[in-house]
Structure 1
């Protein structure tokens, strides 16, 4: 139970609260009807042709306790995102859905290399996403700021190429770099040249680490690769011991992560689906929040998890009794950790987030 606020905000209050999203996959957030429309255009066969049934199929397939099977659901979303028009539509709708959910700043990640099967170049993929984001922001009349994170796949050999792409586009809507995919057998050090290049270019990057694999993955991401943030990072809990008397002892790595204020991009609903946590109530986010790690709350894949930022935060309110001040703390953590220039972060914090929570309180 949080000690910050005794009140429990309703779902409607949570929806109206300003939110910041750092970990969300573009190809994991499509609307089911959009998948059906785009699949019809390219002749891709789907497991269901009704929007409600298809959405249910994605959630049930992802709700398997296996990260490998979870990732298989992306075969269908990626298949319908192979043209510029399709990618732009998905990107525009992503922004529309986030605005409706009260998100005021978002970094949306995707792997450009997965969208070139139809003949697009990597640059054309990034440009298509940029167009969609700009259309969505314009329609929202500037109520949201959105940036791209370009992702390389751990099992592939294009990380340097994608890192260079992120630098080429960093003044045109790309905020940073990421690697994703199955952790086991594909350590982040396989891409050390890309991370060293990004460091020399004074660029930002996050690394999926500590989700399906444990402390060695986190240690490599930080101490070998120099990650600014940890994608998930939930397994840092393995370096924390809670005694029978309630006393908490942090290991060297956990202490380092907390002391250095390294942001944890936590995705509770997704972690339960992939087996990284048994339930929301048992998710390490509760202890990590109590210990004041730099915790942020995220959606990961809104389609596969059937989730939103409102859903994620409401679930935490219900599981841990969090109040508005706790939700504001998560939001400020995320905004402070965004790959956005300092003055722009400060403007959103002081001009949007704090006033927004003050009104709700």
Structure 2
């Protein structure tokens, strides 16, 4: 019997790299190139970096992030944020982010950052936003020139431990026709429920603006419930702990609690970040990550990077890990990708062409390449 190319697993790494990907959960200050950090630190006289060469610095970030605690994981950002305090630095980081994602095969990305973290050297929040938007515009042009077109939307984040939610929400609305596509809250979850920023979410709802909420990462079902039922989140950042409302019996039968059923039935997207979830203790391992169960039960699951520097990851690496852990093939990878594109915060008439003219045709071509390899052909044609 000849195996279907769409279900063949593990997916060859070169095909994963070539496959179109959609990324909804990626932090700008969690994805800097190590060399860039060193150069920006020198330019800004920042002397507290834990290492002085790119390899050692990269290793420090990844090792420090494997803490099993979200709070300790977040401490690594002190160094990246410290070198992102000027317009030039912000523009460079955004440009490189777009290029790096595009080179990894990402065709659409929503990248988030907190303007309030980048005003330490005199910039105001609006100047921060404009610098990042300019950098992404530069990066999209550069990526297209390199043969890797990408569209990047920006999410403005308010830190849940602070009290600037309404201000950042208003900034989101002000810039929503200039590249900002939505709003988010992030930071330590336990003790800082979504309803602390209810005023911001109610304002965004009145303004017909999109928002996602980090919920169900370091805290459980109450955080998810508040994010959805009190705040009206369009998507859930991580949402891993929704599995706490799902019971798997010894015989393999599964029952969903009321909240889990609501999330699944309402098709609320889950922005899952497998490697990051293992680092922060939200999941014990990739092999036991709830994404396997949730995908099987038909939740709208998406695959994301969270913080590429801290996790030492990329979209290609995340997809490869899942392919190896759960036996996923190109059909599954396409399913995750289409899920993400359906859940993006750009208009429907912009999402649909990316699905129908980029994602689906390119996956069809990749399956043909893999089928040729499986039957003894070379299978190295363009896809």
Give the aligned partner of residue 225 of structure 2: 219
- In the alignment, is residue 88 of structure 1 matched against residue 91 of structure 2? yes
Kept in 2: contact 1:28–1:304 (CA 8 A):
yes
Task: Tell me the number of residue pairs that the alignment of Structure 1 and Structure 2 aligns.
Answer: 360
Q: Which of 7, 25, 29 is equivalent to 2:27?
A: 25
Over 3 Å off, 4+ runs: none
Give the aligned partner of residue 5 of structure 1: 7
Give the aligned partner of residue 317 of structure 1: 323
* Deviations 1:288-320 (CA, angstroms, capped at 9, x unpaired): 000010000000000000000000000000000
Q: Give secondary structure in 1 for the equivalent of 2:158.
A: strand
CA distance in 1, matches of 2:62, 2:158: 25
Structure 1 gap ranges (5+): none
CA distance in 2, matches of 1:332, 1:244: 33
Give the aligned partner of residue 283 of structure 1: 289
Give the aligned partner of residue 72 of structure 2: 69
Kept in 1: contact 2:227–2:233 (CA 8 A):
yes
TM-score (norm 2): 0.93
Q: Which of 170, 173, 176 is equivalent to 2:176?
A: 170
CA distance in 2, matches of 1:7, 1:303: 27
Give the aligned partner of residue 62 of structure 2: 59
* Deviations 1:247-297 (CA, angstroms, capped at 9, x unpaired): 000000000000000000000000000001110000000000000100000
RMSD: 1.2
Give the aligned partner of residue 378 of structure 2: none
Q: Which of 300, 311, 319 is equivalent to 1:305?
A: 311
Structure 2 gap ranges (5+): 1-5, 368-383
Q: Which of 172, 195, 201 is equivalent to 1:195?
A: 201
Structure 1, 262-271 or 41-50: larger mean CA deviation: 41-50
Displacement after TM superposition at 1:231 (Å): 0.1
Q: Give secondary structure in 1 for the equivalent of 2:22.
A: strand
Displacement after TM superposition at 1:140 (Å): 1.8
> Mapping of 1:1-361 within 5 angstroms?
5-45=7-47, 46-141=49-144, 143-361=149-367
CA distance in 2, matches of 1:104, 1:6: 24
TM-score (norm 1): 0.98
Displacement after TM superposition at 1:78 (Å): 0.2
CA distance in 1, matches of 2:105, 2:227: 31
CA distance in 1, matches of 2:366, 2:8: 15
* Deviations 1:199-220 (CA, angstroms, capped at 9, x unpaired): 0000000000000000000000
* Deviations 1:85-140 (CA, angstroms, capped at 9, x unpaired): 00000000000100110000000000000000110111110010011100011112
Kept in 2: contact 1:8–1:324 (CA 8 A):
no
Kept in 1: contact 2:8–2:330 (CA 8 A):
no
Q: Give secondary structure in 1 for the equivalent of 2:232.
A: coil
**Which protein has the larger Cα radius of gyration, Structure 1 or Structure 2?**
2
Kept in 2: contact 1:154–1:183 (CA 8 A):
yes
CA distance in 2, matches of 1:13, 1:60: 29
Q: Give secondary structure in 2 for the equivalent of 1:49.
A: coil
CA distance in 1, matches of 2:308, 2:9: 27
Q: Give secondary structure in 1 for the equivalent of 2:155.
A: strand
Kept in 1: contact 2:23–2:340 (CA 8 A):
yes
